[in-house]
Amino acid sequence: MWTSPADPWRDPGSAAVLGGPAERDTEREDGEVERPHGPQLSVPELLFGRRVKPTALALLGVVALVVGALGGAVGWALATAGDTLTGELNIAEAREGKERPAGSVADIARRVAPAVVSIEVESGQSGGVGSGVVIDGQGYVLTNHHVVARAGDAGKAEITTVFTDGTRTPAQVVGTDPKTDLAVLKVDVANPVVIEIGDSDALAAGDAVMAIGSPFGLENTVTEGIVSALHRPVTAPGENGDPPVTYDAIQTDAAINPGNSGGALVDSTGALVGINSMIRTVGSGGEGGSIGLGFAIPINQAIEISEGLIRDGEVSHATLGVNAASVSANTSQGAQVRNVVEGGPAAGAGIAEGDVITRVGDRQVRNAAELTVAVREHEIGEQVPVRLVRGGRPLTVEVTLGSD
């Protein structure tokens, strides 16, 4: 016969509750039911299920007090930190947040700017403003020829250099080279800050550069960019009857504007790598602003020319003895000879009118400007191979370069 198990919480005969035998209710004579009282439990027995020694109980109390004290300390610390984070900031206690580490644009500008001067040229009722760079402790300043071109007319113009500290000093023209747009001035200043000369041949497209000068007369202007291209032959008409200006330029997107001419183009170390000279503009009707196409004369070439100007007052360049124009000959681009100087180097080598020159030495020639810079890379009197196309046929001749 199936029977259900006894419920320990309901079966009066169960001994499962509190671990002891069950006590039954008894009925008194007056009819009231008397319930058993059972043993009385102390607080330790209720808390721990058994008796606890007084010593252990006291120790437990001490531990509780210590825990409480630690909790209070932690709470106070968190409350203090919260006040610090959310409280008002005393501006007088704030530190300068702008950092200018060594090698930053600000650091380079601070070091280089004292060696860059503003050049003011006054000639009668007219004048102009350009820039220059102190390249020697004796006070020699390198700039562009077109900045001081007015002063070349029998010394009619006055030239003043303005340093970053406001010092104004007269300057004299040592020498100029209109064909490369370079000039050297001399100022009488004791212990001028001299710029560090870099190596333009070590540049690569993408290198960071800075232009420092006085665009539109705004002295000590700093702009930043990169080297956009190297060995970019550029040419421009000469001013006031001067010959055309041609040089192998550094192209940069650092903002260059009128007045930057003659100023410094420096690399990421602050070393001078170029002399800013020319910009490409769009439209017509006056001077335009920068469109990100600026050109600088490589410092390796500029220093060589400046040394010649300081030493002799003038310089000479290697020449081929031809006039040429940019053309395409069959599948080759080059410089087509329009006329040959009688008795010149090209005439002596058999180069004729109509020939298209495509290479001088190791350098390819793609246009007339590049022909000029390719020839000037060599020394006067040096013999170089010249490759050309005549009647559709390639030809190479040896030419001994002359002097212009």
Instruction: Please give the average per-residue pLDDT across 21-29, as a whole number.
Output: 45
The pLDDT of residue 142 is above 90:
yes
Distance CA 237, CA 252 (A): 21
Whether 358 maps to a domain, the answer reads: yes
pLDDT in tens, 98-116: 677 888 999 999 999 999 9
The residue from 266, 281, 312 where one domain ends is: 312
- Number of independent structural domains in the chain: 2
Q: Which two tokens stand for residue 243?
A: 């010959």
Across residues 324-339, what is the average pLDDT?
Answer: 82
Mean pLDDT of 158-167: 94
**At which of 247, 282, 312 does a domain end?**
312
Sequence-distant (≥ 6) Cβ neighbours of residue 134 within 8 angstroms: 115, 116, 117, 140, 141, 187, 192, 193, 194, 195
Write out the catalytic residue numbers: 146, 181, 261
pLDDT tens across 207-229, in order? 999 999 999 889 889 999 999 99
Query: Is the predicted pLDDT of residue 10 greater than 50, yes or no?
Result: no
Are 261 and 388 in the same domain?
no
Given this model, what pLDDT does residue 284 score?
A: 61
Per-residue confidence (pLDDT) for residue 15, from 0 to 100? 36
Structure-model confidence comparison of residues 38 and 400, the more confident one: 400
Residues 152 and 249 in one domain: yes
pLDDT score recorded for residue 300: 97
- pLDDT digit string, tens, across residues 359-375: 999 999 999 999 999 99
Give residue 340's pLDDT: 96
- Where residue 239 falls among pLDDT bands split at 50, 70, 90? confident
- Domain extent for 213: 105-312
Higher pLDDT, 177 or 48: 177
**Per-range mean pLDDT, top range of 279-283, 300-304, 389-393:** 300-304
**3-state DSSP helix/strand/coil % of the chain, to nearest 5:** 25, 35, 45
CATH of the domain at 334: 2.30.42.10
Q: How many CB atoms lie within 10 A of CB 387?
A: 18
Q: Pick from 284, 312, 340: which residue ends a domain?
A: 312
Instruction: Name the more confident of 285 and 129.
Output: 129
Task: State yes or no: pLDDT of 331 exceeds 70.
Answer: no
Q: What is the spatial distance between Cα 364 and Cα 359, in angstroms, rounded to a whole number? A: 4
Within 13 Å, how many C-alpha atoms sit on residue 276's CB side?
Answer: 36
CATH code where residue 157 lies = 2.40.10.120
Highest-confidence range of 50-64, 78-92, 388-402, by mean pLDDT? 388-402
233 and 260 share a domain?
yes
pLDDT tens-digit series, residues 245-284: 999 999 999 999 989 999 999 999 999 999 999 998 876 6
Q: What is the mean pLDDT of the chain?
A: 82
Distance CA 113, CA 99 (A): 19
